[in-house]
Amino acid sequence: MDVCTQSALHPEALREARAALEGAPLGRLAELFKVLGDPTRSGILLALGSTVPDGGGEGEGSSGARLCVCDLAELFGVSSAAISHHLRLLKAHRLVRSRREGKMVFYALDDEHVAQLFSQGFEHVKEGGR
Amino acid sequence: MDVCTQSALHPEALREARAALEGAPLGRLAELFKVLGDPTRSGILLALGSTVPDGGGEGEGSSGARLCVCDLAELFGVSSAAISHHLRLLKAHRLVRSRREGKMVFYALDDEHVAQLFSQGFEHVKEGGR
DNA sequence: GGAACAATTAAACACATGTTGAATTGTTAT
DNA sequence: ATAACAATTCAACATGTGTTTAATTGTTCC
């Protein structure tokens, strides 16, 4: 351990910080962000968030698209196994919900916060936040 | 590739989704979330976001704490090398800024969106979003 | 029942990521 | 200049993560 041997350098600030960390569900929060921290998964959420205007016939409100595993696999150019894997993760974190319909399984967003989360992220990225 | 061989199953929805993905800086967004997706890094941001009320003497407004690498290493129980590594990442993404003061280097939050981003995350996590 | 197809799961692999200890750089004090 | 100490960088290692192919499950149609 290369940690400083001299002393706790700024005890007051440290105490404050500890207090802030104490109550926070840090693990869960990081886990959520980790789930979002993959381009394919963010892409899935973004795609599912895209509103389909003149519903072709599968009409289901206008709160977001509904896509099957096949669609997503083609959309991102990966195997459906990979997509399935990602979807399982997203589902475990209540970010998407699934609904079987015949041979296919359709996925849709399951959380109203996700869109806001993304827009905040965009804000940061747009402002040159590398 | 196990991808569905039959056809593009839902062309309209796919077209919409493609449009939504087209404009979005997906890579950057995911990168940002990936940076936040580590407990130590989220912890650092949370710690730096904690407001130190009765400034002991290092007074610098009330918009957040200022901690040196040593403090953070002790706070999370890892080597200062590890902390330094994380800080470099956070800095590269304009999430923190640094300021040298004598032998030490102090870090502080560098972005006003971060707090909001976190609060959105908390919202989700609190609501049982596993 | 069996065939066809979408979805999931399992096993295995390549690659990225976080950590460490050692070496290096930067700053202050003697 | 040398010593002391904080911070960073380097090299190396252990562990995670995303992907693939293959096998399995679920559903529809014949």
Query: How would you write the pLDDT of chain A (130 residues) with one tens digit per residue?
Result: 566 766 667 888 999 999 999 988 999 999 999 999 999 999 999 999 987 665 444 444 456 789 999 999 999 999 999 999 999 999 999 999 999 999 999 999 998 888 888 888 998 988 765 5
Which residues of chain B neighbour A116 with C-beta distances below 8 Å? 120
Give chain C positions with protein CB within 7 A: 4-10, 17-23, 26-28
Q: What is the pLDDT of residue B55?
A: 46
Predicted confidence band of residue B105 (pLDDT cuts 50, 70, 90): very high
**Structural contact between residues B39 and A40, judged by C-beta atoms closer than 8 angstroms:** no
Which range of A118-122, B6-10, B38-42 scores highest in mean pLDDT? It is: B38-42
DSSP string, chain B: -----S--S-HHHHHHHHHHHHHS-HHHHHHHHHHHSSHHHHHHHHHHHS--SS--SS---SS---EEHHHHHHHHTS-HHHHHHHHHHHHHTTSEEEEEETTEEEEEE--SHHHHHHHHHHHHHHTT--
**How far is residue A85's CA from residue A106's CA, in Å, rounded to a whole number?**
15
Which residues of chain B neighbour A32 with C-beta distances below 8 Å? 37, 121, 124-125, 129
Predicted confidence band of residue B6 (pLDDT cuts 50, 70, 90): low
Predicted confidence band of residue B52 (pLDDT cuts 50, 70, 90): low
Residue A101, min C-alpha distance to chain B (Å): 13
Among A1-10, A13-22, B35-44, B98-107, the least confident range: A1-10
Q: What is the pLDDT of residue A59?
A: 45
Give chain D positions with protein CB within 7 A: 5-10, 17-23, 26-28
pTM of the predicted structure, to 2 decimals: 0.88
**CA A97 centroid distance within chain:** 13
**How far is residue A92's CA from residue B65's CA, in Å, rounded to a whole number?**
35
B35 nearest nt, CA–C1': C17
The stretch B42-48 carries a mean pLDDT of 96
CA-based end-to-end distance of chain A: 32
Q: What is the pLDDT of residue A129?
A: 54
Q: What is the pLDDT of residue A74?
A: 93
DSSP tag of A128? T
The stretch B28-49 carries a mean pLDDT of 96
Q: What is the pLDDT of residue A8?
A: 64
**How far is residue A115's CA from residue B120's CA, in Å, rounded to a whole number?**
10
Q: What is the pLDDT of residue A114?
A: 87
CB-nearest to B80 from A2, A17, A93 is: A2
pLDDT, mean over chain B? 86
SS3 A101: strand
**How far is residue B104's CA from residue A105's CA, in Å, rounded to a whole number?**
56
List beta partners, residue B96.
Answer: B109
A40 nearest nt, CA–C1': D18
**CA→C1' distance for A87 and C16 (Å):** 21
* B67:A13 CB<8 A: yes
Closest CA to B52 of B42, B67, B41, B72: B67
CB-nearest to A52 from B9, B13, B71 is: B13
* A12:B52 CB<8 A: yes
Residue A93 half-sphere exposure, CB side, CA atoms within 13 Å?
23
Residue of B nearest to A1 (CA): B79
**How far is residue B32's CA from residue B113's CA, in Å, rounded to a whole number?**
12
Q: What is the pLDDT of residue B77?
A: 93
**Structural contact between residues B68 and A9, judged by C-beta atoms closer than 8 angstroms:** yes
**Structural contact between residues A69 and A20, judged by C-beta atoms closer than 8 angstroms:** no
Which residues of chain A neighbour B14 with C-beta distances below 8 Å? 67, 71, 74-75
Predicted confidence band of residue B2 (pLDDT cuts 50, 70, 90): low
Residue of A nearest to B23 (CA): A46
Q: What is the pLDDT of residue A53?
A: 60
Q: What is the CA radius of gyration of chain B?
A: 20
Predicted confidence band of residue B21 (pLDDT cuts 50, 70, 90): very high
Q: What is the pLDDT of residue B8?
A: 63
